[in-house]
Amino acid sequence: MSKKTMTLNLTEAEMSALEALCAKKDLSKTGLMRQALRLYQMIDTRVERGGKLYFEDDQTREKSEIMML
């Protein structure tokens, strides 16, 4: 599969968050961005189909909806 290269301009804070997530998830920067894109596309598609995105508290079962605008 052919691959394309791009330059990403990030602020200091964004780069720090990216590096922290890479360390936490044991992924390269490319790997992390790829995962982020896959997830974002999946969520966007599901929401477009009429789905809703929730976080549910494991203990209380309380749900909070994430609004995708």
Partner 1 sequence: MLDTIGERQLLDWQFQWRRTLEGYLRRLADNGVTRQSLDWPQSWHWDWRAKIDEVRGLLGHTGYSVVCRDVTQGMMRLDLASRMARIDDQMGKPLVYVDYLEIAPWNWNEPYADPPLYRGIGQLLIRTAIQRSFDEGFHGRVGLHSLPQAVTFYERCGFINLGANPNEYRGLLPYFEITTDRAKTFL
Nearer to partner 1, 58 or 65 (CB): 58
| Residues lying near partner 1 in the complex (CB under 8 A) | 24-28, 31, 35, 37-39, 41-42, 45
Minimum distance of partner 1 from residue 12's CB (angstroms): 25
In the chain, where does DSSP find H-type helix?
12-25, 29-48
| Dihedral (Cα; 64, 11, 5, 25), 10-degree rounding | -50
Minimum distance of partner 1 from residue 1's CB (angstroms): 9
Q: Of 22, 63, 67, 17, whose CA–CA distance to 47 is shortest?
A: 67
Nearer to partner 1, 6 or 11 (CB): 6
